[in-house]
Structure 1
Amino acid sequence: MADWTHHRASINGIEMHYVTQGEGPLVVLLHGFPHTWFSWRHQIGALAAAGYRVVAPDLRGMGQTDVPEALEEYRVDRVVADVADCSTISANSRRCSRVSTSGSSSPTTSRSNTPTASAD
């Protein structure tokens, strides 16, 4: 059985759903279109077992996250702000890794020694 925990948070005017598991440096897993956090179900537990805090959100308009009506609500800057704020809420470490399929089948990874966003 999976040990992930489901959360909901008010972020940038929407209710965002995300799943977390583990403790340690933060890894944020971003799904492509038309998927949800569930695309990462096999990787979440493995990363958590390897010592990471894993966050896998449903991006706006998908899964259990709100679906804004206006097309401009899906601009890249809005989605990036959602991910940054979700990461900040979930962060417990200054070292972050982000993994994204970017709509392709091959994951890409980037690392940062600073948080992806600062808490207000």
Structure 2
Amino acid sequence: MYSKHEQKEVEALPIAGHRSQAKIAAHRRTDQEWVDDLSGRNGVQHQEAAHQDLANYLFRVAISYLDLRQESVSILYALADWELAELAQDFVQETLGKLVRDKHALLAKYSGTGRFTSWMAQVIRNEIAG
């Protein structure tokens, strides 16, 4: 599934915390900065910070989307808040794993026509919708 290098990157990816801990970093990136930072072009520190910031952002998107769908999807309706948060974290981890897979091939699919964060929000919503 992953090369040894990719597996190390996936294992090192941060998992976003509970809703109250999920904060967007004060540093605002341009779309190109997101791509460069996540791909590692700007160094390991920028890459790690970008992964953490993206994890926190995606957690907020995932938990909001799951909350929205909770009433219409019976299996989600039965989940407690903490279970929903864990499920959101799982989707964040899977989405971040896709970012590092195949030498960041998913980043190459970003066309730059919209905001990077909006594009990633759609990626995780598609992941959740299955």
Q: TM-score, normalized by length of structure 2? A: 0.32
- More contact order relative to length (CA 8 Å, sep ≥ 6): 2
Query: In proportion to residue count, which structure has more strand?
Result: 1
Q: Which has the larger radius of gyration?
A: 2
Query: In proportion to residue count, which structure has more helix?
Result: 2
Q: TM-score, normalized by length of structure 1? A: 0.34
